[in-house]
Amino acid sequence: MPDTKKVNYLAEAWLVLTLAVSFGAALAGVHLALNDGIQTNKRNETYDQIPRLIPGANKDRVEAGAFSVDVGGAVVERTFYRALAPDGKTTMGYMLRSSGMGYVDKIEVLIGVDVKVKNITGLYVLAQIETPGLGSRIRTKDFVSQFIAKSTTRAIFAMKTAQPPESNDIQAITSATISSQSVCSIVNRSVREFREYLDASIQRELALEHIPEMFPGVSREQIIDIPSGKQVVYKVLDADGRVIAWVGDGKRMGRWDRVELLVAVDADAQTITKVHVVDQRERYWKKVVKAGYLDSFVGKHAGKIVMVKPKIEPAEQQVQAVTKATITSMAICRIVNEVVRRLKRSVADVQGGAAVKER
Amino acid sequence: MASDGPTAGERFLRGLIPENPVYRQLLGMCPTLAVTGGMKTAMTMAGAVAFVLICANVLTSLIRNLLKPHLRILVFTLTIAAFVTIADRVLAYAMYDMSQELGPYIPLIIVNCVIICRCEVCASKQSVVVAASDAAGQSIGFAMALASIAAVREILGSGTFFGLRVMPEAWPNWGIMVMPPGAFLTLGLLLGLANWIGAVREKRSGAV
Amino acid sequence: MTEATDNNQQTDTPPRAPAGAGPVIHVAPSPHSFSKSLTTRWMMADVLLAAAPLVAWAIFQFGAEALLQLVVCVGGCVVAEAVFTAMRGRCPLGAMKDLSAPVTGVILAMSLPCTAPWYVGFIGACAAIGIGKVVFGGLGQNIFNPAMVGRAFVMICFAWALAAGGYVQLDEETAAAAADPESGMAMTAKEPLDVISQATPMDVLKTRIKDRKEAAPTTSPARDDESPVALSRLFLGNVNGSIGEVSTLACLIGGLYLCWRRTAAWQIPAGVLLASVITAGLAHLGGGGAGLSMADFVGYHMFGGALMFGAFFIATDPVSSPITPKGRWIFGIGLGLFIMLFRTMSVFPEGVMFAVLMMNAVVPLINRWTIGTPVGGPVPERK
């Protein structure tokens, strides 16, 4: 009985099975034949934009990369493309692929940034379904070209009025302020994410660029980076090869955005010798500078420093917070403490290691 | 096996107007509404549907004597799905822009009732030649219907035809036409027009 | 009301007045013609008459452009009505006699800004008559208010011409000429240009609320670039906006005339105003007051924008509003709620049009809920 049933099933279904198998084979064939071309098409859709967004770049000299970011608890993969110079090594700039919510639905953009991620070199809207005639004008050249040459160190805003060329803001599309602002926010966020990702390498670039500012006369060759856990500290030598300082960098959220500092200690890691600002976007920064807050760290012993309220006279190992900028002041104080702790540890490691070697 | 039912020529002609899939049978409404914002997308869709319809009809007609009645829908769906996947891949290969723009609507041809309806009504009962000409007629009818809607929407909504400017520069684009409400309005008004023309013609032939 | 009676009993016994019910006799839906002044034609003529103050104010305020808008819209509606009625095989002149096309045209024109180009009015008129009325089967069959269908159509088509920015944009040359005291233009047409170049009151309010929201957590309340218009000016109508909506005074004169003539059902504007006052008050209590005092804020919502015009002229369209008094209350209150919801929560500064269309859509349902029970108990269902 079971046998006859089986046979019946086969008799009923042989046509379906045969068709399924032959269709499967046909589809496999189609896939084999066309897949390469489809992949090239997909790649070209993005790659065709590279010469437009990164001046001087060629779409054949591109490396794709990806990094993941944490967006409200969800891990999202972001793609970026590195455009290479004709020598095949030097980076000419990056193109970031990113997306975010617009007025109607998700907007996908490609953002070109220069090699230091300091200026925007181009913007292209890949996909959007904003209101036709209003929000959809974010695609127009008039709108996207406004982003070119804007600095990434300050957030870009969409304003209702025309902006002078030196302003870091853009003019929103009339009656489509939300779509316009969405594009700005996507650009701001994506560039920040990318900067954070590139921190490891850019950090080094920035540090190498800023350390000569802290110690005039020091050339790049006199700065030696030493890995310290996940981070790096820098040993600064004088012309004779003696250590004049150890420098470390640290960053932390201030009142408005990230504050990034370089802190230097002397060769024995006993005294703080310099506090240098790499990047900040604080609104009351002028007050901080005017109060000489950063200089108040100089000369303190390289140990824990406590910040006191503006009205209290600071004792030894204490600094006085700046009126109306206490949160910024607190952030700076914490950064200094962190960096100094790290520097002391690194210096101890290095000197300890050297001592062992000598023995 | 001798086919009974309409001949190949009759089948072909019926697909154009008297049994037009959109205006007479009201089948395939999803692509009719969704991809008729411009002529390019509409015609690409019509081409894809034509390919799938003709292939599915011919194949179904070839195997019509082997079909088990209770498994026929399964076979139709399988056949259509295979051809739609091929069409989707070929589009992504040859016309990548269009395939991006049409997005999910190409895979959705699988559930386009026009095709399964033709397989059921004609191809599973009649010879290959009749099935092929039926598919051709229906495809052309479908293409004409999409073209009529897309032409209205693209010209009014964007001032262009196949992406080429046909209206003067000063033409104000009717934003509503490229949006979903425009699709419903245009389809409704054109359907009304088609019915009205049909009614007038019937009256005339009745009078004669 | 009536006593609950058994259906079986009903079919057997002839209808009789229930014993315990008071003599509550509401207007029943059927056309019980009892007054010559309530023919369609007279009602429409009444609306035209009531709109006269609005039209006069619009022309005084916005000049020739308002007149042009009016001519284009009324002309467009009449032409469209003639063409579409002819297409339906009816006599075009017969349909014209009820004056409903000019009324649609006037209301449409009054709801457009004077800066909208002529074709906006014309296309709006064709859409109003064609899509709004004729496709449903002509006057009396339409679900939606035709004028609002036409306005919604052009609003989505030409958002730039009707959106908030549309009111305040002058082309550069005109603006420059207007600003230049030497030019003849500023001499002859100073007044109207002054008004047009202002932001509309509702725009000002929306901007204030938005600015406050953004500024609130960080800094002390920012100085306002555009302070709201004084209520007296709003009431009189010396502000920018759609040509018919600006003057509260004119709307009130026309609207009260309509209510007195019973062409408009008084319950609808009453409901709208009541619901808007309460909602505006609640919005103010909820912290959305844009820095105005409670009285100012509520007054601003009452007199600014299209609320008065909508309440008296748009919502009271007898075809697309409910037929029972109770239903009219529900309609009016719902309308007021939606208007305030759109004004306070949406990205649009004004919400009368969308609110009217939304409430139009539920009118059949309201009618079904509130239809009176005939004297003698419910009508038995036919089997």
List, for residues B26-36, the tens digit of each pLDDT value.
888 888 888 88
pLDDT confidence bin for C113, thresholds 50/70/90: confident
**Is there a contact between B175 and C119 if contact means CB atoms under 8 Å apart?**
no
Q: Residue C368 pLDDT > 80, yes or no?
A: yes
Assess whether pLDDT exceeds 70 at residue C181: no
Alpha-carbon distance C46 to nearest alpha carbon in chain B (angstroms): 33
Residue C37: CB atoms within 10 A of its CB come to 12
Interface of B with A (CB under 8 A): 63, 66-68, 71, 74-75, 78-79, 81-82, 85-86, 89-90, 92-93, 96, 100, 157, 173, 175, 178-179
What b-and-e string marks burial along B105-123, b requiring 16 or more CB atoms within 10 Å of the CB? bbebbbebebbbbbbeebb
Instruction: Check residue B146 and give its pLDDT.
Output: 94
Q: How many A-B residue pairs are in contact by the CB < 8 A criterion?
A: 57
From first to last of its 359 residues, chain A has per-residue pLDDT tens of 555 666 677 777 888 899 999 999 999 999 999 988 988 888 787 888 888 888 888 877 888 887 777 676 677 888 888 888 888 778 888 898 888 888 878 898 999 998 878 889 999 988 887 776 678 788 888 888 889 888 887 888 888 777 777 788 888 887 777 888 889 989 988 888 888 777 766 676 777 778 888 888 787 778 887 766 657 788 888 888 788 888 888 888 777 777 888 888 888 888 888 888 887 777 778 888 888 888 888 888 888 888 887 777 787 788 888 887 778 888 888 888 888 888 888 888 777 765 555 44
B14 to chain C, closest Cα gap in Å:
28
- pLDDT category at B42 given cuts 50, 70, 90 is very high
C131 touches chain B (CB under 8 A): yes
Cross-chain CB nearest to A30 (options B63, B78, B86): B86
Kindly list the domain boundaries of chain B, sorted by start residue: 8-150
Rounded distance between C-alpha atoms, residue B132 and residue A227, angstroms: 73
Within 13 Å and on the Cβ side, how many CA atoms surround B52? Answer: 36
> Do A38 and B99 meet the contact criterion of CB atoms below 8 Å apart?
no
Please say whether the beta carbons of C361 and C314 come within 8 A: no
CB pairs under 8 A between B and C: 24
The partner residue sitting opposite B90, judged by closest CB among A34, A45, A132, is A34
Q: How far does B156 lie from chain C, in Å, by closest CA?
A: 10
Residues of C in contact with A133 (CB under 8 A): 158-160
- Determine the Cα–Cα distance for residues A112 and B153; give it in Å rounded to an integer: 35
Q: H or E element: which one contains A228?
A: strand A223-228
Structure tokens, C24:
């509550």
Q: Which of C87, C135, C157 sits opposite B176 (nearest CB)?
A: C157
* Band of pLDDT at residue C221, cut at 50, 70 and 90: very low
pLDDT tens, position by position, B174-200: 878 888 889 999 999 999 888 888 888
**Res A133: pLDDT:** 66
B86 vs B5, more confident = B86
Cross-chain Cβ contact A15/B89 below 8 Å: no
CB contact under 8 A, C160 and A174: yes
What is the rounded CA–CA span in Å between residue C103 and residue C118? 18
| Inter-chain residue contact B74 with A20, CB threshold 8 Å | no
Mean pLDDT of C155-168: 64
DSSP state of C89: T
What integer is the mean pLDDT of C210-233? 52
Reported as a single tens digit per residue, the pLDDT across B117-138 is: 888 888 888 889 999 999 999 9
Residue of A nearest to B84 (CA): A27
Give which of C115, C154, C155, C160 to mutate to test A binding, by max A Cβ within 10 Å.
C160
Distance of CA B204 to the CA centre of its chain: 29
Is there a contact between A16 and B178 if contact means CB atoms under 8 Å apart? no
Q: Does A171 contact C at CB distance below 8 Å? A: no
Judge whether A330 and A321 are in contact, CB under 8 Å: yes
Q: Considering chain C, what is the average pLDDT of its residues?
A: 76
CA distance B101 to chain A (A): 10
Chain A residue with minimal CA distance to B176?
A132
pTM over 0.80: no
Among the partner-chain residues C87, C119, C159, the one whose CB lies closest to the CB of B175 is C159
- Cα-based distances in Å from A157 to A51, A148, C121: 26, 14, 36
The pLDDT assigned to C218 comes to 35
Q: C166: which chain A residues are within 8 Å (Cβ-Cβ)?
A: 175
What are the structure tokens assigned to C249, written together?
């005074």
Q: Which residues contact B169 (CB under 8 A, 6 or more apart)?
A: none
pLDDT band at C22 (very low <50, low <70, confident <90, very high): low
Minimum distance, in Å, between the CA of residue C158 and any CA atom of chain B:
6
Contact state of B93 with A31 under an 8 Å Cβ cutoff: no
Q: Give yes or no for B180 touching C (CB within 8 A).
A: no
Whose CA is closest to A154, among A202, A188, A111, A205?
A188
With both helix axes pointing from N to C terminus, report the angle between C64-87 and C118-130 in degrees, rounded to the nearest 10.
30
Find chain C residues with C-beta within 8 A of B167's C-beta.
none
The predicted structure's pLDDT at residue A331: 85
Q: Which residues of C touch A178 (CB under 8 A)?
A: 347
Number of Cβ within 10 Å of residue C139's Cβ equals 19
Contact C160 A133 (CB under 8 A): yes
At residue B164, the pLDDT reads 84
| Cα distances (Å, whole numbers) of residue B110 to A185, B23, B37, C240 | 39, 20, 21, 54
Amino acid letter, B114: V
Given a contact cutoff of 8 angstroms between Cβ atoms, the answer to whether C265 and C330 are in contact is no
- Residues from chain B that touch A38, judged by Cβ atoms under 8 A, are 89, 92-93, 96
Cα-based distances in Å from B196 to A21, B202, C363: 49, 10, 30
- Please check whether residue A170 is in contact with residue A183, taking contact to mean a CB–CB distance below 8 angstroms: no
Is the confidence at residue C192, as pLDDT, over 60? no
Give the integer Cα–Cα distance in Å for A174 and B22: 40
Question: Exposed, middle or buried: residue C153 (CB in 10 Å: 0-12, 13-18, 19+)?
Answer: buried
DSSP state letters, C24-45: --PPPSS-----GGGSHHHHHH
pLDDT at B92 over 80: yes
Q: Which amino acid is at C33?
A: S
**In Å, how far is B63's CA from the nearest CA of chain A?**
9
What pLDDT shows up at residue C9?
41
How far apart, in whole angstroms, are the C-alpha atoms of residue C307 and residue C299?
11
Establish how many alpha carbons lie within 13 A of residue B132's alpha carbon, considering only the half-sphere containing its beta carbon. 7
Of all residues in chain B, the one with the smallest CA distance to C120 is: B172
CA distance C247 to C239: 8
Nearest CA-CA partner of C241 in C299, C185, C189, C308: C308
Q: How far apart are CA A177 and CA C103, in angstroms?
A: 36
Q: Is C215 on the interface with A (CB under 8 A)?
A: no
State the complex-level ipTM. Answer: 0.80
The better pLDDT of the pair C88, B188 is held by B188
pLDDT in tens, C269-306: 999 999 999 999 998 888 777 677 888 888 888 888 88
